């Protein structure tokens, strides 16, 4: 929970990682390039005092995570959205440790698994096992991931649909789709969000959370999200602009509020890409610059509360929001002490 100016904010960090980009885990040069690229994002958009040494960034500890996300980062709950990247890392990019951590702290951590439709039947069985093992409520999908000669797939592919049907059957309701800065997409425009339009229409019972709000295809994402009631936007990667380019950030959040609305935007730090502490603090302090308010209006406290945690809690009902942190909470007027002593 974060408190500022008499307001309490329930915080769900809907996008965190426990990764291993260490030299030992790299399968090939792409593993090195990938973590270096991540590090550049980290260095480029973080306030200086939050920049880590590269070695630590490659592989941080559970203690680092717990301190940064929960103690310093104000999160009441955090959701792992693991990236597998088996083509780049020996044991995968996401550490199995994330699964153990979620098992040990189910009240604070949710583990989403991932799937790759190109794994066919075997992948479907694996998804069933994982759903049973982890009680999956959500899953992460990375459409630009490499797989043999293939450099990506679409959410509208027939094979993907079989997996989405399986998700429906297994009660995995939240499908987090990475649409944003990506690893080496090829001729197809892997940022393209058009495929979301199809799967969101065909699977009305599932929620599609478009991570990174489709940046750099924000306009296409907004357009689709307004047509579909079950499409959400995850702010990971977009929100760090709040520090380096606050006026640009104002336009992003202003457009999102206009197009998809305050109920469909989810906060995520993408830890360890960025430290949640400064993101949460700056977001709560943020206001649309005055000269832009004619266009976008002001962002309200209740909008911030929804974005920072309440919207994610609505998608993941096992995350309990204490009564006093809900928006409809009306504090009962305390009886004067005298009235109690009868």
Say if CB 242 and CB 207 are below 8 A apart.
Answer: no
Say if CB 115 and CB 138 are below 8 A apart.
Answer: no
* SS3 state at 156: coil
- Note whether 24 binds another protein by CB under 8 A: no
The nearer residue to another protein, 215 or 313, going by C-beta atoms, is 215
The nearer residue to another protein, 39 or 65, going by C-beta atoms, is 39
Please name the residue that has the structure tokens 């297994």.
Answer: 170
The nearer residue to another protein, 144 or 175, going by C-beta atoms, is 144
Give the binding range for another protein (CB under 8 A) out of 100-108, 119-127, 250-258, 302-310. 250-258
Give the binding range for another protein (CB under 8 A) out of 213-221, 228-236, 299-307, 318-326. 213-221
The nearer residue to another protein, 51 or 97, going by C-beta atoms, is 51
Query: Exposed (0-12), middle (13-18) or buried (19+): which is 181, by Cβ within 10 Å?
Result: middle
Please name the residue that has the structure tokens 């935007």.
Answer: 265
> Binder to another protein among 169, 219, 263, 320 (CB under 8 A)?
219
Number of neighbours of residue 52 by Cβ within 10 angstroms: 16
Instruction: Scan residues 122-181 and list those touching another protein (CB under 8 A).
Output: 149-151, 181
Question: How many helices and strands in the chain, by DSSP H and E?
Answer: 15, 11
Provide, rounded to whole angstroms, the least separation between the CB of residue 153 and another protein: 11
- Note whether 253 binds another protein by CB under 8 A: no
- Note whether 217 binds another protein by CB under 8 A: yes
> Binder to another protein among 1, 22, 43, 165 (CB under 8 A)?
43
The CA distance from 131 to 123, in Å, is 12
Both tokens of residue 122? 């075997």
Both tokens of residue 38? 């991540």
The nearer residue to another protein, 62 or 159, going by C-beta atoms, is 159
Provide, rounded to whole angstroms, the least separation between the CB of residue 109 and another protein: 29
- Note whether 37 binds another protein by CB under 8 A: yes
* SS3 state at 174: strand
- Note whether 188 binds another protein by CB under 8 A: yes
Provide, rounded to whole angstroms, the least separation between the CB of residue 63 and another protein: 28
- Note whether 29 binds another protein by CB under 8 A: yes
The CA distance from 296 to 83, in Å, is 35
Strand partners, 186: none
Provide, rounded to whole angstroms, the least separation between the CB of residue 102 and another protein: 29
- Note whether 227 binds another protein by CB under 8 A: no
- Note whether 260 binds another protein by CB under 8 A: no
Long-range pairs, 316-322, Cβ under 8 A, ≥24: 316/12, 316/77, 316/79, 316/110, 316/137, 316/138, 316/174, 318/110, 318/137, 319/12, 319/76, 319/77, 319/110, 321/10, 322/10
* Contacting residues toward another protein, per CB under 8 A: 29-30, 33-34, 36-37, 40-41, 43-45, 149-151, 181-190, 215-220, 222-223, 241, 244-245, 248, 251-252, 255, 258-259
């Amino acid at each position: 929970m974060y408190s500022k100016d008499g307001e309490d904010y329930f915080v769900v960090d809907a996008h965190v990682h426990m990764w291993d980009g260490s030299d030992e885990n790299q399968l090939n040069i792409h593993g090195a390039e990938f973590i270096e690229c991540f590090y550049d994002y980290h260095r480029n958009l973080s306030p200086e005092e939050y920049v880590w040494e590269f070695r630590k960034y490659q592989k941080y500890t559970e203690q680092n995570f717990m301190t940064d996300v929960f103690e310093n980062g104000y999160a009441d709950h955090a959701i792992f959205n693991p990236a597998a990247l088996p083509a780049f890392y020996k044991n995968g990019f996401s550490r199995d440790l994330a699964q153990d951590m979620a098992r040990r702290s189910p009240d604070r951590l949710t583990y989403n698994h991932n799937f790759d439709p190109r794994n066919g039947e075997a992948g479907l069985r694996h998804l069933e096992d994982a759903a049973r093992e982890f009680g999956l409520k959500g899953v992460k999908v990375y459409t630009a991931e490499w797989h043999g000669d293939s450099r990506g797939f679409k959410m509208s592919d027939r094979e993907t649909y079989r997996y989405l049907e399986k998700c429906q059957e297994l009660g995995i309701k939240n499908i987090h789709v990475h649409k944003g800065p990506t690893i080496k997409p090829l001729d197809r425009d892997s940022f393209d969000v058009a495929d979301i339009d199809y799967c969101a229409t065909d699977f009305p019972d599932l929620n599609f959370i478009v991570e990174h709000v489709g940046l750099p295809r924000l306009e296409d994402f907004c357009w689709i999200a307004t047509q579909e009631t079950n499409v959400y936007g995850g702010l990971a990667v977009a929100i760090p602009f709040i520090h380096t380019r606050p006026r640009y950030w104002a336009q992003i959040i202003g457009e999102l509020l206009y197009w998809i609305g305050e109920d469909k935007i989810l906060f995520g730090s993408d830890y360890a890409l960025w430290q949640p502490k400064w993101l949460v603090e700056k977001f709560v302090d943020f206001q649309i610059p005055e000269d832009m308010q004619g266009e976008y209006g002001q962002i309200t406290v209740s909008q911030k509360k929804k974005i920072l945690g309440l919207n994610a809690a609505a998608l993941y009902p096992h995350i309990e929001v204490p009564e006093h942190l809900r928006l409809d909470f009306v504090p009962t007027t305390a009886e004067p002490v005298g009235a109690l002593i009868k």
